[in-house]
Amino acid sequence: MSHEASRSTIAENIARVRERLADACRRAGRSPDQVTLIAVSKTKPLDAIAAAAACGLHDFGENRVQEALTKIPHAPPQLRWHLIGHLQSNKAKPAVEHFHLIHTVDSPALAQRLDRLAQERQKTQPVLLQVKLGDEATKSGVAPTALPALYAAVRALPNLRVCGLMTIPPFCPDPEAVRPYFRHLRELRDALQAAFPSDDLPELSMGMSHDFEVAVEEGATLIRVGTAIFGDR
């Protein structure tokens, strides 16, 4: 049995997500062009990606480097790829080769490795620092208390550019329940920005299919939406 959504379903889903995004921006007094919609295409085939690209989406997210490598070379070349899953150091090289933005830097060792690989490619690699909020089973992400030290270490690396922070809050069916996590991420970013006023930390990657409106109200600039675009996985 195939659960793949048809091209027209994907187009309708994207229209609906854009309406929800516009409504959330209106409530928050923000402009929709301050928020980038990332279509999370993990487990989805190339024709679903092509269908979403045909609707004008440019930014796509994958959580595994290996899976992304099977798609990126065959996808429309203008697309920008975001790595949103945990990055193992043995996948760092293809990550630097293929991803526009790596959302999941959470240790000095990973950052140093990415910095070396970016230097080899003569590239400045944009990254986000992933923060672990809530004492969940998830292992990825730096604890808020360790964030300032990680930021200080990563900002010193010449071939990486830290653009902001990312988080995956604990799953709650009620989106209002995760609002404090989104707010916390914004406050952590604001604190770093205040500590390093000449740095530029505009990006907050937070919010998924069921809770992105709340994330946008709390300042998200990158929302990661899979199911609401492509259907169930």
Ligand X SMILES: *Cc1c(COP(=O)(O)O)cnc(C)c1O
The site for ligand X (CB under 6 A) is made up of 40, 42, 63, 84-85, 168, 208-209, 224-228
Whole-number minimum distance, CB 230 to ligand X, in Å? 8
Whole-number minimum distance, CB 198 to ligand X, in Å? 30
Q: Which is nearer to ligand X, 116 or 210 (CB)?
A: 210
Whole-number minimum distance, CB 224 to ligand X, in Å? 4
Length of the chain (residues)? 233
Sole residue written with tokens 């169930």: 232
Q: Which residue is nearest to ligand X (CB)?
A: 226
Q: Is 114 helix (H, G, I), strand (E, B) or coil?
A: helix
Q: Where are the alpha helices (DSSP H) in the chain?
A: 7-28, 46-54, 65-71, 92-98, 108-120, 147-155, 179-195, 212-217, 227-230
Q: Which is nearer to ligand X, 84 or 157 (CB)?
A: 84
Environment class of 141 (CB within 10 Å of its CB; exposed 0-12, middle 13-18, buried 19+)? buried
Q: Residue type at 214? A: V
Q: Which is nearer to ligand X, 84 or 114 (CB)?
A: 84
Task: Please state, in angstroms and rounded to a whole number, the distance separating the CA atoms of residues 160 and 120.
Answer: 12
Q: Which is nearer to ligand X, 60 or 151 (CB)?
A: 60
Q: Which is nearer to ligand X, 39 or 117 (CB)?
A: 39
Whole-number minimum distance, CB 194 to ligand X, in Å? 27
CB neighbour list of residue 173: distance below 8 Å, 6 or more residues apart? 210
Whole-number minimum distance, CB 137 to ligand X, in Å? 15
Contact 98, 68 (CB under 8 A): yes
